Amino acid sequence: MEKTKLEIDIDGMMAELETLAGFSDAPAPAVTRVVFSEQDRRAREYVKGLCRAAGLLVREDAVGNTFARWDGVAPELPAIGTGSHIDAIPNAGAYDGTVGVLGGLEAIRALQRSGFRPRRSIELIVFSAEEPTRFGIGCFSSRMLAGLLDGSTLGDKDGKTLEEWRTAAGFHGELSGVALPSGHYAGFLELHIEQGPLLEREGIPLGVVTAIAAPASLRMWIEGEGGHAGALLMPDRRDAFCAAAEIVLAVESAARSTGVVDTVGTVGVCDVFPGAVNSVPSRVRLEVDVRDTDLARRDGVLAKIEQAVADVSARRGVTVRTEVVNADCPAACDPGVVEALARVATAHGLAYRKMVSRAYHDTLFMSRIAPAAMLFIPCRGGVSHRPDEYAAPEAIAAGALVLAEALRELAS
């Protein structure tokens, strides 16, 4: 039988993206929406309202993962999941994560409008937080869904625990109840902006992700000796910030030393204590992010950083305590789901390229419990995690359409 043509209501979806971007702690066009903040709460309410308006059954788990279900004809079968996140790092843009949430919802609505009745249920997942801003670890809630993290030791940098944050936000129930068994979903698909330049540069509308690079992150506490910036003589100093500066440069040079573009290293957080112009820094806290598509090479960079830290610490007489927050394996996407996306793109006359995701995503962890893959769309200049992040309506519409068609195929 001829399949009904699906229509994406891109104007409606762009309006929803704009409304969602308005729930922000930063002035437009910047978006800051940290998990369990008031703006996060308002954004969740907005998205849940849209899901309910589409007739979906909404449920939340103990850490705020949100599931909006469209029951299939055979609701006893494992569902097909799709979704992404709506939290945003400080000073971010409007499309990271949100395109996968509202695109997933629009894909479901397009299927509903077409008269399609899924055999398997289709479930939109809004992961509670993909970004590491609050708890220092990316994807805490999909790690918990995949049973890889129990969440009991998570806290923010001021010592306020996940337990305190989530209950204050209205999420109760046992943390141990968050994990889903393997086989809970028959498939999982995440639509996302590429966050890199390749699709735009090559003029290709879609990326079908075959693997996700292996991320690692470290926290370091560097302790030296403080004192009066005028009176403490230079030969007597054990300046924690000077030591930190050397470590920051060592991270850069360790990442560059592989000679491969797939290796990246960043120090994105540096807190200096006491933070006064006329006081020698006594303590510094760094947060370090290292990634690679190749696990052994990524671990080689971590080893180089560890060596550099030991050298700096001995030479400058400071102590450095390092905590490995996470050092994950890369994910391989499921060949069957990858081929379903590729087939649908081709059927719609849309060119695609297979590619690796250098950014991490909740799919990194969903792939542990479900056959999973991702669909990328181009974003302007490859820019992301910045207020000027932008994806064109045509690009978003193409992504939502291919997502809808793939959901139709997998849920039939």
Please report how close the Cβ of residue 138 comes to ligand GLV at its closest, in angstroms: 6
Please report how close the Cβ of residue 363 comes to ligand GLV at its closest, in angstroms: 11
Mask of contacts with ligand GLV, 334-373, x by CB under 6 A? -------------------------xx-------------
- Residues in CB range of 228: below 8 A, 6 or more apart: 278, 279, 280
CA dist 182 to 83, 84, 190, 370, Å? 18, 19, 18, 6
Please say whether the beta carbons of 22 and 95 come within 8 A: no
Based on the shown chain and the rule CB under 5 A, indicate whether residue 97 belongs to the binding site for Mn ion. yes
Nearer to ligand GLV, 13 or 364 (CB): 364
Based on the shown chain and the rule CB under 5 A, indicate whether residue 265 belongs to the binding site for Mn ion. no
Size of the site for ligand GLV (CB under 6 A): 4
- Provide the 3-class DSSP secondary structure of residue 143: helix
Please report how close the Cβ of residue 131 comes to ligand GLV at its closest, in angstroms: 6
Please say whether the beta carbons of 44 and 83 come within 8 A: no
Nearer to ligand GLV, 138 or 281 (CB): 138
Helical axes 335-347 vs 393-411, angle rounded to 10°: 120
How far, in Å, CA of 347 to CA of 25, rounded?
A: 42
Q: Which residue's CB atom is positioned nearest to ligand GLV? A: 359
Q: Which does 360 bind (CB under 5 to 8 A by kind): ligand GLV, Mn ion, none?
A: ligand GLV
How many residues in the chain?
412
How far, in Å, CA of 232 to CA of 214, rounded?
A: 44
Which residues is 126 bridged to in the sheet?
A: 66, 84
What single letter denotes the amino acid at residue 270? C
Tell which one of 16, 40, 60, 96 touches Mn ion (CB under 5 A).
96
Nearer to ligand GLV, 131 or 389 (CB): 131
Token duo for residue 309? 């830290």
Please report how close the Cβ of residue 75 comes to ligand GLV at its closest, in angstroms: 33
Report residue 180: phi and psi, to 5°: -105, 145
Size of the site for Mn ion (CB under 5 A): 2
Based on the shown chain and the rule CB under 5 A, indicate whether residue 289 belongs to the binding site for Mn ion. no
Please report how close the Cβ of residue 385 comes to ligand GLV at its closest, in angstroms: 7
Nearer to Mn ion, 97 or 207 (CB): 97
The secondary element (H helix, E strand) that includes residue 307 is helix 295-316
Site for ligand GLV in 137-166 (CB under 6 A): 138
Which positions lie near ligand GLV, rule CB under 6 A? 131, 138, 359-360
